[in-house]
Amino acid sequence: MPHGQYVFSQLMEHMPSTTFHRCVVRYNGEHKVKHFSCLDQFRCLAFAQLTWRESLRDIEACLNAQASKLYRLGFRAPHIARNTMSNANAVRDWRIYADFAQHLIGMARELYAGDTLPDLEGLDTVYALDSSTIDLCLSVFPWAPFRSTKAAIKLHTLLDLRGSIPSFIYISDGKMHDVKVLDLLQPEPAAFYVMDRGYLDFERLARLDDAGSFFVTRAKSNTQVRRRYSRYVDRSTGLVCDQTVVLTGYYTRKGFDSPLRRVKFNDPETGKTLVFLSNNFALPAMTIAKLYKYRWRVELFFKWIKQHLRIKAFFGESENAVKTQIWSAVCVYVLVAIVKKRLAIKASLYEMLQILSLTLFEKTQLLSLFVDIPSENPDPFANNQLNLFD
């Protein structure tokens, strides 16, 4: 590593620049661009995400205050102007950053492929599917209708629970129902998909079953089933029953005519009784219940990125600008996860972002920021004070 390199530059070195350039060429992102390249645009957005900037004016002021360092930070534009950034966010195709994010996701998934989930060592691939709504102002964002007086967008995410890496992301307006995202997924054979009741559509779940995938979801109170067989369960663990059932409703049976597994569980933490449905009959009943518990990781993922990345206040009003900002936030999240794994950093992603937000302009080794460095003077009594009793 070159001596005296800024932390921001070291972080950006982990992004595959050749792949980024290919994404730019694919969508003609630098047509008639003279100074402010797509890479400069991405670095500005990454800087904003890492340091929690509030607006384009905020980004402009902070970066131009460090104008003598911009070249060493990787910027090739001599000056950062908010009007230039605003125009780039509005005009340059957001798919540049969406495709780049997908490539980073692929890199991260390879790095985290060896990780296992506690108590679920035998399972290779487990996904949690959910969506989160980001509220917007209807008068400012008329392209994202949601209610009669408000706008919103939905962030549909399929989270790989090994490393909490989003393997699939789809951005829609607020009106799109969650279950429709199942039509966009490419099911993986032998993979587990954990979902809440909002995705209980038996015709769509049958497609997962036909592809050789497994699902775990919660049953609705009005789901009509008939028991075929009951297996023994240890009620001291919280399990109530483990049954093989078939659907009896006219439309539900028409959509899914194969047997299902029904597991009933009393959660000792909340006192609630939960009923799970799955098409997997090989796993222990308690593992089915634990799988659904891991679904909360996708909820924590949404909470985490809303708290620590800039996806609730936007730098532009157009659909292209909003999607560009969201995909750049995903890129930053996954890039930090890649750095964490490559450098074997034990600190959490939250701790890493907290430290990076204060040290981007420092000239120190990236890894040393997250390692406890021992004191240079290990002897607490060694000092320049003269000894009275020589």
3-state secondary structure the chain: CCCCCCHHHHHHCCCCHHHHHHHHHHCCCCCCCCCCCHHHHHHHHHHHHHHCCCCHHHHHHHHHCCHHHHHHHCCCCCCCCHHHHHHHHHHCCCHHHHHHHHHHHHHHHHHCCCCCECCECCCCCEEEEEEEEEEECCCCCCCCECCCCCEEEEEEEEEECCCCEEEEEEEEECCCCHHHHHHCCCCCCCCEEECCHHHCCHHHHHHHHHCCCEEEEECCCCCCEEEEEEECCCHHHCEEEEEEEEECCHHHHHHCCCCEEEEEEECCCCCCEEEEEECCCCCCHHHHHHHHHCCHHHHHHHHHHHHHCCCCCCCCCCHHHHHHHHHHHHHHHHHHHHHHHHCCCCCCHHHHHHHHHHHCCCCCCCHHHHCCCCCCCCCCCCCCCCCCCC
pLDDT of 4 over the 80 cut: no
Average pLDDT over residues 126-151: 86
The candidate with the shortest Cα–Cα distance to 38, out of 76, 82, 79, 6, is 76
How large a percentage of the chain has pLDDT more than 90? 51
What is the reported pTM?
0.83
Dihedrals phi, psi of 252, to nearest 5 degrees: -65, -40
pLDDT of 278 over the 60 cut: yes
Average pLDDT over residues 162-186: 89
Q: How far is CA 316 from CA 11, 94, 112, 324, 365, in A?
A: 26, 12, 34, 9, 35
Region label for 226, one of left (φ > 0), alpha (ψ between -120 and 50) or beta (otherwise): beta
Average pLDDT over residues 361-380: 70
Look up residue 28 and give its amino acid: N
Q: In the prediction, which pLDDT does 382 show?
A: 45
pLDDT tens track for 332-366: 989 999 999 999 998 888 889 889 988 999 998 99
Dihedrals phi, psi of 133, to nearest 5 degrees: -95, 130
Longest dimension (CA), the chain: 97
Block residue for tokens 């109530």: 240
Q: In the prediction, which pLDDT does 121 show?
A: 66
The candidate with the shortest Cα–Cα distance to 334, out of 349, 314, 315, is 349
In which band, very low, low, confident or very high, does the pLDDT at 141 lie, cut at 50, 70 and 90? Answer: confident
Strand partners, 231: 242
Cβ atoms of 336 and 309 within 8 Å: the answer is: no
Average pLDDT over residues 142-168: 86
Q: In the prediction, which pLDDT does 3 show?
A: 56
pLDDT of 381 over the 50 cut: no
pLDDT of 380 over the 50 cut: no
The candidate with the shortest Cα–Cα distance to 315, out of 9, 37, 132, 41, is 41
Q: In the prediction, which pLDDT does 105 show?
A: 92
In which band, very low, low, confident or very high, does the pLDDT at 373 lie, cut at 50, 70 and 90? Answer: very low
Q: Where are the domains of the chain?
A: 7-95+314-367, 196-291
pLDDT of 46 over the 50 cut: yes
Q: In the prediction, which pLDDT does 32 show?
A: 82
In which band, very low, low, confident or very high, does the pLDDT at 372 lie, cut at 50, 70 and 90? Answer: low
Q: In the prediction, which pLDDT does 118 show?
A: 72
Q: In the prediction, which pLDDT does 389 show?
A: 40
pLDDT tens track for 102-119: 999 999 988 888 777 777
pLDDT tens track for 190-225: 999 999 999 999 999 999 999 999 999 999 988 899
